[in-house]
Structure 1
């Protein structure tokens, strides 16, 4: 026997089925537009150049699992990073963006549930005599109290759900963006700290060189006064002395500016920076020894890539909302309460009242508004796809650049240290020859100038190697913890 389902029950069942519909496109992650491996093969490049790069052992942690306190062992740097994470205004802005996006999501999510309001009202109206049944002017009162649901949309085609999904993805994107900002801040503080320390080391070298050359100039001046040295020797020593002084003044300015940049990042005076030191070669080797994994690992490691994908999912959900706008929209308004001409009888028997007002809105002509909104949503999704792919390519390049720097800067530092040692030995030998009357003073002065240049270049090379290790740590997704 065929049983017929009661119409209201059938209606509710259909509404439940339709409310599960969604017109949003099925999300598919775009293929990563990068190669399957990094352009620089670290082991092969190290072997080719003859430099044994310190590579990560089997027990080495990935960058994403290595906290910044574990990665940066300098206690002064740890103090500065902790202060920056607490006081930096850009990071604080990113945290407030999360609160803003969460509030937007909560607002949008509230539309998926009916809003129940309690209301109470009193109405007083005057009825003219010609409209009154009694033929006399009358003043009437009415008291109402009850509960009401106002314009709750039955989400048959998933419009509200799509908007809710878009808001959720936007919220998650801001959380990922905050993590990306934190990683970037940790790396910037470390690089600014070591930059200031490098300028301090170069300044100390320049100051020492200036003081030594000033003493030499004074002796040459005394010798020139008695005719033991020529005016050319005097001017050559003066040139070297003033060159060292100019270099020291330049480095003092650069150090002060680097300290100002560090203060801005930290959010307070960076008093701890002035007592630290550049890391040694062994410490840089340890910093550089991070396993890189495959390029596809970046999709999970880097919060900026995850944020770009969340923005893409948000744009994808907005297409569903734009498509649903082409279909009818049904909303319900209902009220249940009590009405009485007197306040005392408001809740007496027989005073109950109710109202039920479903509303159907069917778009017929909107001058192309809905179609334009759909085109806008699709265009924004295409933009989000392009942004996602560009973010991946940028991350891939940053890792590849850091790997190239890791492979070659270590050898560059070794070569530059050999240059410095050779120049120091050359100066010593020329000084002995000059003391024995074999070499000229110009040869000695030239050796002094080249030694000073080699010392400064070595500090710069060590700084480059340090910052490249920090870049690799950041590029691989480290620095959140």
Structure 2
């Protein structure tokens, strides 16, 4: 419908648009209900290590939990330089732009138009000119049944999900840097044990060779001592390689080479001197739904899948679109802005789906299946979080006892080696007893370091799986591209 009229006031022209907007607002999005958590109401293990007043991990900034200044510097560098975290931030920006696009679809696009046509008259057959200039709205869909609004809600849920994914990426990065730093400390301690053991065994080889050359001991003693020395040498080479691999892994996380002062401090680092981490309150499994970004991410994905059903349902109903223009029309270019040249056109269109070969039905079915998949992913995220916390609590409950027992074992093996060497020098025992005591002490010392590492890393994991490591201040620093500790 196109009508040419005398000049009209702006309110009169927009009245039909306002009426159309008033009709919009229906929604076919199913009512969202959060699925019940598919986990027990409590953890199997009690929480004796954390007092009732101990804070939640989500309430502790990583600077408060990891108090070693060297580790704080490394984490800050990683937050500013890590490429995976940067990619997660870019994903958030992309999802935000997609949401803006969907939100813009709800509003008409107004464009300036200008046209000039020359065509023959249907009456006289003579050619004439037509000039037009003004504003136009092209094929604006009035969202009467909420299709565009549903797509906007889906885009919003996706944007929020990527925001939670960014938080989860930061939590994982903080924990990975802390674990990498502890690995390097353990590597240095294991290297020190291997160096001292190798030196001791090389001295044993020298002594047994002298005793063998002087007829005091047998060639078997000399060969056994040589075998143990070469085993220690092989272990030392293996640990050197592992030390380099662990440093390379930490460099990748940090996004740049380790500062020289931090590298120089590592040879003297010992796990027993590591900065303590404060106790954490595990709370209830239901609290993970609010603490863990990965669970919140899965829920936003579920909300988005729910909104997709609304869009698929709305596709079964008519689509109402509107094309309109307002401007000046004249058969002469010089007469465009003269009185009486103003005109407007309003062309509503109704499109009713009659036959689509089952496309809309298939889209609805796909949206419903997508929602069920999102429910399954949400349930799995909760169950995975429950399992991770339970595993960390199991480690906290048992690693302390294991560490105490291994410390006592290491002390006993050290005393055993001392007594075996004394008995051998006095001719009471064979050198085989000394070698066996050396092997036992070396293995016990290595196991002790690895258990210390496991206990400290368990504290890091517990902080991570309880949702610690995220803060708005760190996010602002990361978004600015600066280390969080600068």
TM-score (norm 1): 0.90
Summarize the Cα distance change of 1:355–1:64 in structure 2 as closer, same or farther, 3 Å threshold: same
Long gaps (5+) in structure 1: 1-7, 44-53
TM-fit CA distance, 1:159: 0.8
Cα separation, 2, equivalents of 1:204 and 1:281: 15
Tell me which residue corresponds to 1:395.
Answer: 385
8 A contact 2:67–2:275 mirrored in 1: no
Tell me which residue corresponds to 2:164.
Answer: 176
Tell me which residue corresponds to 2:4.
Answer: none
8 A contact 1:195–1:258 mirrored in 2: yes
1:25 to 30, 40, 52: 30
Cα separation, 2, equivalents of 1:459 and 1:83: 28
Tell me which residue corresponds to 1:4.
Answer: none
1:144-293 superposed matches below 5 A: 144-271=132-259, 272-273=262-263, 275-276=265-266, 277-280=269-272, 283-284=275-276, 286-287=277-278, 289-293=279-283
Summarize the Cα distance change of 1:14–1:335 in structure 2 as closer, same or farther, 3 Å threshold: closer
Cα separation, 2, equivalents of 1:282 and 1:410: 15
Other structure's SS at 1:146 match: strand
TM-fit CA distance, 1:18: 4.3
Cα separation, 1, equivalents of 2:381 and 2:270: 32
Tell me which residue corresponds to 1:61.
Answer: 55
Summarize the Cα distance change of 1:278–1:115 in structure 2 as closer, same or farther, 3 Å threshold: farther
Other structure's SS at 2:427 match: coil
Work out whether 1:340 is the aligned partner of 2:330: yes
Other structure's SS at 2:334 match: coil
2:339 to 349, 354, 358: 349
Cα separation, 2, equivalents of 1:166 and 1:411: 50
Cα separation, 2, equivalents of 1:96 and 1:207: 47
Tell me which residue corresponds to 2:105.
Answer: 111
Cα separation, 1, equivalents of 2:334 and 2:14: 39
TM-fit CA distance, 1:73: 1.2
Tell me which residue corresponds to 1:89.
Answer: 83
Tell me which residue corresponds to 2:429.
Answer: 439
TM-fit CA distance, 1:61: 2.1
TM-fit CA distance, 1:476: 0.2
Cα separation, 2, equivalents of 1:157 and 1:332: 15
Tell me which residue corresponds to 2:64.
Answer: 70
Cα offsets for 1:313-354 (capped at 9, x unmatched): 000001001000111111111111001122221100111121
Cα separation, 2, equivalents of 1:14 and 1:115: 18
TM-score (norm 2): 0.90
8 A contact 2:68–2:275 mirrored in 1: no
Summarize the Cα distance change of 1:380–1:61 in structure 2 as closer, same or farther, 3 Å threshold: same
Q: Provide the aligned length of Structure 1 versus Structure 2.
A: 455
Larger mean Cα displacement after TM superposition, 152-161 or 27-36: 152-161
2:455 to 445, 449, 465: 465
Other structure's SS at 2:221 match: helix
What is the RMSD of the two structures over their aligned residues, measured on CA atoms?
A: 2.1
Tell me which residue corresponds to 2:477.
Answer: none
8 A contact 1:194–1:278 mirrored in 2: no
8 A contact 2:95–2:155 mirrored in 1: yes
Larger mean Cα displacement after TM superposition, 11-20 or 157-166: 11-20
Cα separation, 2, equivalents of 1:382 and 1:143: 56
